[in-house]
Amino acid sequence: MIASFRRSERAVSTVEFALVVPLLFLLLVGILDLARGVSAYVVVSNASREGAQYAMLRPTAAPSAIASNVRARSAPLDATQLTVTATYYDGATFQPWPSAGIPASSPLPISVPIRVEVTYPWSAVSFLIGQFIGGATGTTTFTSNSIVDTRR
């Protein structure tokens, strides 16, 4: 009698294990996917700051040089997916970064605000995290702007 009771306890434990393990696995995948998203957001933010610092220190740099510096700072992400936009403030509005850098005739001779915007499309691996962060498509675009002043 006791032996059959122990066998039935083992069977119950096996069934409970079979029911709980998939849920724990889904929870683990969701946590890892969320961590991937947070990591991508942090990398995009830091790449934007690095690009703004590069443009601040080199106001005559070409836009491609700023973009390549940003892509070099986005190590775990797919650098080909990054979109980098550099602009400078001309006194009225932000203008696209010229190929020769900020013009010497900039209306603000003391300091010129520059902005570097970095965007990256990210998609979740797990369905639940994709629905939570990305909505119906499961994808979202992380965007970061950094504005600094430079002297020209």
Domain ranges, ordered by start, for the chain: 2-150
Q: What is the mean pLDDT of residues 8-37?
A: 87
- Angle between helices 63-72 and 2-57 in degrees, nearest 10: 150
Terminal Cα distance for the chain, rounded: 91
pTM of the model: 0.81
Percent of the chain whose predicted confidence (pLDDT) is above 90: 53
Residue 136 confidence class, pLDDT cut points 50, 70, 90: low
Question: Does residue 133 register a pLDDT over 80?
Answer: no
Alpha carbons 57 and 102: distance in angstroms, whole number: 12
* Average pLDDT, integer, range 75-88: 93
pLDDT tens string 46-67:
999 999 999 999 999 999 999 9
Give the closest residue to 86 by CA, choosing from 105, 64, 106, 107: 64
Tokens linked to 15: 């069934």
Distances in Å between the alpha carbon of 99 and those of 9, 16, 73, 77, 130? 75, 65, 21, 26, 39
Question: Per residue in 135-144, is it b (16+ CB within 10 Å) or e — as a string?
Answer: eeebebebeb
pLDDT the model gives residue 115: 96
Averaged pLDDT for residues 98-124: 82
CB 48 within 8 A of CB 118: yes
- Which pLDDT band holds residue 30 (cuts at 50, 70, 90)? confident
2-20 pLDDT, tens per residue?
A: 555 556 677 788 888 899 9
Torsion of CA 75, 77, 78, 83, to 10 degrees: -100
pLDDT at 143: 94
Question: What is the pLDDT confidence band of residue 118, given thresholds at 50, 70 and 90?
Answer: very high
Rounded distance between C-alpha atoms, residue 73 and residue 146, angstroms: 15
User: What value does the mean pLDDT take over residues 110-118?
Assistant: 90
